[in-house]
Structure 1
Amino acid sequence: MTITFLIAPDFSPERFAGWHMLNTALQRRSGVHLHLVTPATAHEQSEVMATGQADLVYANPFDAVDMIRTQGYVPFARPAQRFDEMVIATGSESGVATVEDLRPGCRIALTENRDVKLIGLRLLEPADLAESHIEWVHVDSYQAAARKAIKGEVEAAFFLADAYASLTKLTRSHLRVLVESAIHDISHVLLAHPRLAGDLAAIEKAFLGIGQIQGDVELLDALGFPHGFEVMSQEQAEFMIDLMDTLLD
């Protein structure tokens, strides 16, 4: 039996090798054959999900809410001490110095990462900006968002904090952070389809064991998860879902 392991398409390009290293380690330690799927965009992810073949999913919090509530996916783990914070930044030569300097009609670059947009809208509240007040400029990557901000093609850009930190030092030197979230309760989640009930124990044990064997440091460094993975209970998932609902209100 082959299990399809789908990864949300919002990790930095340099983490690609890390996911393949993880997939290899999980197969070896669980005895389960995993087929890694790394869609390039949210649209591609939706197409894979529509086939019903995604057995394991590393999902962003926004997608996780729907998958748990309507599709019956079971949360079982998440990256330890790794929360989904986001950054709003502008070009260093921009006249925008604070969030309050953003005005209705401003252009903001963003990817298809919906939880980043959700948190970003909350961070824009001091500027009295609602979603309809903004000209959204959609891009395929955080690198593209950075380029548009640096060139002055947008007044600001939304970034997943980890993605912003992974930009090159040169790129970051041409950007100015306006604000960074500090929610600490929202994270990507590892989910299992209910049909995996018989195999989940072995898979969960393999995930939670990453970091406990010599040589795992290189794997975790490649992933950007220095503390490995930790258990995520249904209760913890429900708390996160409630928080997401609050942000949506």
Structure 2
Amino acid sequence: MKLNLLIAPDFAPERFAGWHMLNTLLQKRADLHIHLETPASAQEQSEQIANKNIEIIYANPFDAATMIREQGYRAVARPKGKADEMVIATKAEGQYKNLEDVKSGAKVAMADNRDVKLIGLRLLEAVDLTESDLSWHTTETYQAAAREVIKGDADVGFFLSEVYHSLSRLTLSQLHVLIESDLSDITHVVLVKEDFAESQKFVDALLALTDSNDGKEVLQELGITDGFEAMSEEDGEFMIDLMDTLLD
């Protein structure tokens, strides 16, 4: 039986090969036939989940909360010590030097990543800005958002921290960080369909990656050097509560 593993489209481009390496290793370790799905956008992710039987998803926390509540998934694992942080950045030679310089009417460029937007809005509460105070432009990728900021087509960009710090040296030299979050308890999550009968074989293989050299090599490629840890149903509920707090 062929299974589908879908990876949320917000990883840094240089991690692409690492996900394929992970898929190959998990197939061998769990003795499962797993097909890797790597949608290019949030829209494509939604379409694939709607049109295919996706048994396993590596989801961002906002999407994971919805998938657990409404789509029959449960959380089984998360990366150790790898929180989802975000960066608000502007043009290096632009008018904004500090977060306080961002005013109502500013244009924000960002990829379609709702948890990054929620965290960013929480950070902007410190300068009395809300979602309706800002103009929003959704780009295909974070790299495209960076280009808009550098060209002056957007005042600031919202970025997943890992992706921001993976941008080219030239790109980073043209950007200036206004603030970076430090929440530490919001992470991507590995979800499995409730009716996925062989889920424990998959989870066991995933959690054991740190026990072998080839597993450690794959984790290094993914930037998840400490591996994955198991999640309980209570952990999943706690994560949902955190996302609800960000939404309130």
TM range (shorter): over 0.9
Percent identity of equivalent pairs? 53
Q: Name segments (4+ residues, structure 1) moved above 2 Å.
A: 215-218
- Report the TM-score, using the length of structure 1 for normalisation: 0.97
Q: Give the superposition deviation at 1:216.
A: 2.7
For the pair 1:3 / 2:3, whether they are aligned, the reply is yes
Residue deviations 1:122-160 (CA, integer Å, cap 9, x gap):
111122111111111211111111111122221100000
Q: Which residue of 2 aligns with 1:221?
A: 220
Q: For 2:14 and 2:68, locate their aligned partners in 1 and report how far apart those are by CA, in whole Å.
A: 29
Residue deviations 1:40-87 (CA, integer Å, cap 9, x gap):
111111111112511000011011001111122111101111110100
Q: Which residue of 1 aligns with 2:238?
A: 239
Q: For 2:156 and 2:101, locate their aligned partners in 1 and report how far apart those are by CA, in whole Å.
A: 11
Q: Which residue of 2 aligns with 1:137?
A: 137
**SS of 2:213 mapped into structure 1:** coil
Q: Which amino acid aligns with 1:157?
A: G
Q: For 1:195 and 1:52, locate their aligned partners in 2 and report how far apart those are by CA, in whole Å.
A: 15
**SS of 2:144 mapped into structure 1:** helix
Unpaired segments of 5 or more residues in structure 1? none
Q: Which residue of 2 aligns with 1:177?
A: 177
Q: For 1:130 and 1:235, locate their aligned partners in 2 and report how far apart those are by CA, in whole Å.
A: 31
For the pair 1:127 / 2:127, whether they are aligned, the reply is yes
Q: For 1:96 and 1:244, locate their aligned partners in 2 and report how far apart those are by CA, in whole Å.
A: 29
**SS of 1:88 mapped into structure 2:** strand
**SS of 1:211 mapped into structure 2:** helix
**SS of 1:16 mapped into structure 2:** helix
**SS of 1:195 mapped into structure 2:** coil
Root mean square deviation of aligned Cα: 1.0
**SS of 2:225 mapped into structure 1:** coil
- Report the TM-score, using the length of structure 2 for normalisation: 0.97
**SS of 1:76 mapped into structure 2:** strand
Write the mapping of 1:183-198 to structure 2, written as runs, cut at 5 A.
Answer: 183-196=183-196, 198=197
Q: For 2:143 and 2:44, locate their aligned partners in 1 and report how far apart those are by CA, in whole Å.
A: 19
Report the count of equivalent residues. 248
**SS of 1:124 mapped into structure 2:** helix
Q: For 1:123 and 1:8, locate their aligned partners in 2 and report how far apart those are by CA, in whole Å.
A: 24
- Verify the 8 A CA contact 2:4 2:56 in the aligned structure 1: yes
